[in-house]
């Protein structure tokens, strides 16, 4: 399995000081920045577009950017975020008219590709796509908001997904997103995840280094 990555979601960051917030959370030990893109169409909320990703790159952020597209359609924004410096681009298969083509587009632009499965989305969406992704992102909340509670049945879905990844390519990352806290991250890892999105658990704390260190301690158990 891959080494563990902690991916703070900037949805819960102070948008008025976003560059500093990202700097701070990276200095505090985060591995990759999770970028929640919402269009108030695919999900009932609106966040930010590719110019904000570009602005962070211009600000000097060199860490990988993990773009989670909660938008429909997806292809235009795939192009924009690839041009703005995204590292990973993941999208919801329900939001694309041609999932295989959208995955190919991401890789053709030099980014790593991934699919996002909502809590009710079956693993069958991976049947003809798993060999063409670099990451599977399992939602442990319904997309649209930070600060929600982890949906418990996700643990079994993580284990089933890990089994499928092992059969295809162990290097595919298994990211989990939503409701991850210090007190549940160990169970999520033991179920089979290696990449952990945390928004409110990190940005709602005064000391980012302390909460990330606490998560790392749990991951080492």
Looking at the annotation, which residues are catalytic?
36, 177
Binder of ligand DX5 out of 18, 119, 144, 164 (CB under 6 A) = 144
β-pairing verdict for 65-70 and 173-177: unpaired
Q: Which of 95, 26, 30 is nearest to 56 (CA)?
A: 26
Upstream peptide bond of 73 is cis (omega within 30 degrees of 0): yes
Q: Where are the beta strands (DSSP E) in 39-147?
A: 65-70, 88-91, 112-117, 135-139
- CA dihedral for 221, 138, 45, 24, sign (positive or negative): positive
Residue 60 assigned ligand-binding role: no
Please count the residues of this chain forming the interface with ligand DX5, following the rule CB under 6 A. 23
**201 lies in the site for ligand DX5, by CB under 6 A:** yes
Which of ligand DX5, Zn ion, none lies near 112, with the C-beta cut-off 5 to 8 A by kind? none
- Name which of residues 29 to 88 contact Zn ion (CB under 5 A): 36, 68
Minimal distance, residue 167 CB to Zn ion, in Å? 26
- Count of CB atoms within 10 A of residue 36's CB? 24
At residue 7, the 3 state secondary structure works out as: strand
At residue 115, the 3 state secondary structure works out as: strand
Site string for Zn ion, 85-114 (x = CB under 5 A): ------------------------------
Minimal distance, residue 68 CB to Zn ion, in Å? 4
Residue 98 assigned ligand-binding role: no
Binder of ligand DX5 out of 50, 53, 68, 105 (CB under 6 A) = 68
Q: Which of 138, 132, 146 is nearest to 199 (CA)?
A: 146
Which of ligand DX5, Zn ion, none lies near 199, with the C-beta cut-off 5 to 8 A by kind? ligand DX5
Instruction: Confirm if 130 and 114 have CB atoms less than 8 A apart.
Output: no
Minimal distance, residue 178 CB to ligand DX5, in Å? 5
Which of Zn ion, ligand DX5, none lies near 132, with the C-beta cut-off 5 to 8 A by kind? none
Binder of ligand DX5 out of 28, 34, 155, 157 (CB under 6 A) = 34
Helices and strands of the chain, counted as H and E runs = 8, 8
Minimal distance, residue 87 CB to ligand DX5, in Å? 16
**Furthest CA-CA distance within the chain:** 44
- 115 forms bridges with which residues in the sheet? 91, 136
Which of Zn ion, ligand DX5, none lies near 205, with the C-beta cut-off 5 to 8 A by kind? none
Query: What residues make contact with Zn ion under the rule CB under 5 A?
Result: 36, 68, 177
Query: What residues make contact with ligand DX5 under the rule CB under 6 A?
Result: 9, 11-12, 34, 36, 68, 70, 141, 143-148, 177-180, 197-201
């Amino acid at each position: 399995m891959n080494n563990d990555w902690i991916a703070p979601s900037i949805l819960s960051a102070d948008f008025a000081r976003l560059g500093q917030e990202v700097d701070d959370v990276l200095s505090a030990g985060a591995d990759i920045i999770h970028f929640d893109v919402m269009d108030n169409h695919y999900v009932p909320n609106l966040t930010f577009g590719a110019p904000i990703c570009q602005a962070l790159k211009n600000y000097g952020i060199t860490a990988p950017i993990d773009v989670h597209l909660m938008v429909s359609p997806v292809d235009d924004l795939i192009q924009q975020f690839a041009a703005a410096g995204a590292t990973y681009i993941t999208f919801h298969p329900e939001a694309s008219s041609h999932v295989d083509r959208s995955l190919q587009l991401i890789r053709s632009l030099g980014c790593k590709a991934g699919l996002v499965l909502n809590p009710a989305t079956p693993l069958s969406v991976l049947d003809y796509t798993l060999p063409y992704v670099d990451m599977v992102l399992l939602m442990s909340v319904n997309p649209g908001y930070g600060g929600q509670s982890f949906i418990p049945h996700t643990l079994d879905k993580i284990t089933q997904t890990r089994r499928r990844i092992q059969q295809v390519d162990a290097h595919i990352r298994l990211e989990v997103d939503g409701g991850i806290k210090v007190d549940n991250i160990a169970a999520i890892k033991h179920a089979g995840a290696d990449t952990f999105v945390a928004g409110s658990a990190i940005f709602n704390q005064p000391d980012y280094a302390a909460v990330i260190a606490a998560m790392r301690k749990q991951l080492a158990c």
